[in-house]
Structures are given as C-alpha cells and as structure tokens.
Amino acid sequence: MEGSRWRSWRILLTPYYLNLYARQAHVLRVAAAFLVGLALNLLFEIPHGSWMLVTILIVLGSVPHWGGVRRKALQRMGGSLLGAAAGLVAMALYRHSPLSCYLWMTALVMLSAWFALGKGEYLALLVGLTMVIVAGLGNEPVEAALWRGFNVLAGSLLGLVAAGLFPLRAIDSWRFLLADNLREAATLYSKIARRREVDAGLALERFNSRLIRMRALVAAAVQESGLPAAGFDAIQRRQRALCSLLDRMGEVAQDTPALSDGAEQRRAIVRTLMRAAHGMRFNQPAMLAEVLSEAVSPLALDKPSYCHWLTAEFNLVAEHLREDLALLLPSLMQVPPPSRGVLLMVWHWLSSASQGRSR
C-alpha cells in the first residue's frame, strides 16, 4: 500500500508526467506558493504584504518552465534591489530639493526605457517601476519603502522554490517534442516510401506545430542547461530539412517507384529515426550510437530519378541529426533537476544557520 502511494507521488517528480500534465502542475505550484505567501502574511502581519503575493503571481503566473521562472525571478530580484536603492536615493534628494528628486527619477526612467528594449528588458523595466513604487513622489516613509522591497524579494524566492519543487523543465519539454517529431518523420517516410495511404499534409502540420513550440523553448533550455544555443539551433535546422524533404517526397512519390526500391536502406533510415526518438524520450544515449550507413549515390545509377536524390539527401540529414543528438544528449542528462538545486540551497542555509547558533 505504501509503495503504491509512493509511486503515485513520484508522478509529481517524473519529467514525462510533469510535461503530460503540465497545466495541472503549473496550477498546483502557483497555488502552493500563493498559499504559503498568504499564510506568512496572516501569521506575521507583514506590512505591505500584498506585494509578496503580487510578485509570486508575476514570477510564476505565465512562465511554466524552470529556466524562464529562474530568469524572471532573478531579474525581478535584481530589478527590485536596484529600483529600491534608486527610490531611497530619490527620497533622500527630496529632503534637500524636490526638483533634484524629480530630475533623478526622470533620468532613471529614461535609462530604464532605453535598456528595456535590450536583452535585460524585464530587469530594466523593474528598476524604473520599483523606484516609482518605493519613492512615490519622494515624500513616502522610508519604512514603507523597505518593506515593499522585502516583500518583492520574498515573493521571488517563494516563486523559485515552488518552481523547483515541481520542476517543469524546458529541456524535458524540448526532448519530448523532438522525440515525437522523429517518430512522426520515421512513420511518414516509411508510408510514403511504400506508397501507403497517408495524409502527409496533416502529419507535416503536426510536425511544424511541434517545431514552433520547440523554437519557443530554446531560450529557456539554454538557461537551464548552460549549453550554447548553437547546438539547439542546429537540431532545429535539421528538423526543418527533414520536413521539407518529406513534403517533396510526398509530391513525387506517386509518380516514381524509386522510394519503394531498396527496402534495406529504407528500413535503416526508419530504424535510425525511431531509435533516436526512443533515446531522446528516455535519456538513453546508447540508442544514438549506431551509425547510419551512406545511401547509394544517385551518380552511381544508370538513370537516377528525383526521388533517388531526395532519398540520398534524407539519409544524409538523418545521419547528421543523429550525430548532433549523440553529442547533445549526454550534456542534457548532466543537468541537475531544479528540485535538487532548491533542496541543496535550503540545506546549506539550514547548516550555516545551525553552525552560527552553536558558536
């Protein structure tokens, strides 16, 4: 009985199930963080505690993956600290000259607007926003400004912890979408080559839809893994090449028997793509180790057709994709889960606190 309960709770930590029920997991962690923040406010009557709850919703509300949450929380904390400092400076200037205070605030808002169009857009925007919230018109009490800054930092940390306990990772979503695309490509190629009835347009539409979703995950995946974006971009390009070749194959396959010739080569291509899909879904690099042999060059044939060239190119792209994945997957597997990072952070904090008390 206890074993079955443990297995049911493990679903909350298994990447496959977390991605399968991503919306439910996202709602659960937002609610958990919000309830903890609400409990802290009710128990300790924290001044201006609503800012903690607002920050939790901002950090977690619309960003499902750990890489995006971490980036947003860190920018939120950094922007809040800088903005709070700028707000305190504005309040100090107000006591000497309201005009100097407003000139300072205007200059900071202009800088915030300038950098808001760059890479750190969210951080830059929050510097200006937090400054205005903290300073008001310059005549706000210092105590209120400090409490607002504290609540923003506390809300960001709660959001990070909640995201780490239910770790929806962009690299896992990206892997699963890639595995589905590889399986789709293998199935579609096999059916086209054997002249089986297939709705190629619908299959390619699903393929492209996943490819678009993968493109949106690359930034967060790079943030989570620390790997260069070039590796992810190369795999995106390989998939687009497969999609384009499948589209052209579907148009000409009915007019020539070339794709249905050479069953051994067709089976090798399908096997490579299927094994790659399995390896990416279940984190098994060994499934990517088998090299796909080169296709027969159309130049060696007496009367090569357009399909011969398409098949040879498809074979080449599939092999390059396998090579790229064989290099990338081991690196992805070395990325520690967010929950482990959060738990280690809490453990180190508790250890240092206990050591401080013993002294």
Confidence label for 4 from pLDDT (cuts 50, 70 and 90): very low
CB 203 within 8 A of CB 181: no
Handedness of CA 166, 172, 173, 174 (dihedral sign): positive
pLDDT at 317: 93
* DSSP H helices in 45-65: 50-60
Between 20-29, 115-124, 134-143, the lowest mean confidence (pLDDT) is in 134-143
**The pLDDT of residue 8 is above 70:** no
Which pair of structure tokens corresponds to residue 318?
């599939």
CB 121 within 8 A of CB 110: no
Which pair of structure tokens corresponds to residue 219?
């930034």
Residues of the chain with pLDDT > 70: what percent?
80
Query: What is the phi/psi pair of residue 70, to 5°?
Result: -60, -45
Alpha-carbon gap, residue 107 to 120, rounded angstroms: 18
The answer as to CATH 1.20.58 being correct for domain 170-333 is yes
**The pLDDT of residue 351 is above 80:** no
Predicted TM-score (pTM) of this structure: 0.71
Confidence label for 299 from pLDDT (cuts 50, 70 and 90): low
pLDDT at 186: 94
Q: Stretch 62-77: mean pLDDT, rounded?
A: 71
Alpha-carbon gap, residue 159 to 154, rounded angstroms: 9
Closest of 81, 36, 96, 31 to residue 57, by C-alpha: 31
Regarding predicted confidence, which is higher, 61 or 304? Answer: 61
Q: Tens digit of pLDDT for each residue in 17-61?
A: 777 777 777 888 888 889 999 999 999 888 888 888 888 887 777
DSSP per residue, 246-258: HHHHHHHGGG-SG
Alpha-carbon gap, residue 24 to 27, rounded angstroms: 5
Which pair of structure tokens corresponds to residue 202?
């619908």
CB 20 within 8 A of CB 173: no
Confidence label for 5 from pLDDT (cuts 50, 70 and 90): very low
Confidence label for 75 from pLDDT (cuts 50, 70 and 90): confident
pLDDT at 63: 65
**The pLDDT of residue 84 is above 50:** yes
Closest of 146, 172, 184 to residue 48, by C-alpha: 146
Residues of the chain with pLDDT > 90: what percent?
25
Query: 280 vs 150, 285, 323, CA distance in Å?
Result: 42, 8, 13
Confidence label for 1 from pLDDT (cuts 50, 70 and 90): very low
pLDDT at 3: 46
**The pLDDT of residue 187 is above 80:** yes
Regarding predicted confidence, which is higher, 270 or 224? Answer: 270
pLDDT at 180: 94
Q: Where are the domains of the chain?
A: 2-168, 170-333
Regarding predicted confidence, which is higher, 135 or 30? Answer: 30
Query: Which amino acid is located at 25 in the chain?
Result: A
Q: Tens digit of pLDDT for each residue in 210-266?
A: 999 999 889 888 888 888 999 999 999 999 999 999 988 877 766 666 565 567 888
Q: Stretch 193-212: mean pLDDT, rounded?
A: 87
Q: How many CA atoms lie within 13 A of 129 on its CB side?
A: 15
Closest of 98, 102, 100 to residue 132, by C-alpha: 102
Q: Tens digit of pLDDT for each residue in 273-297?
A: 999 999 999 889 999 998 888 766 6
Q: Stretch 58-65: mean pLDDT, rounded?
A: 72
**The pLDDT of residue 111 is above 60:** yes
pLDDT at 296: 62
Tokens 């201006």 locate to: 48
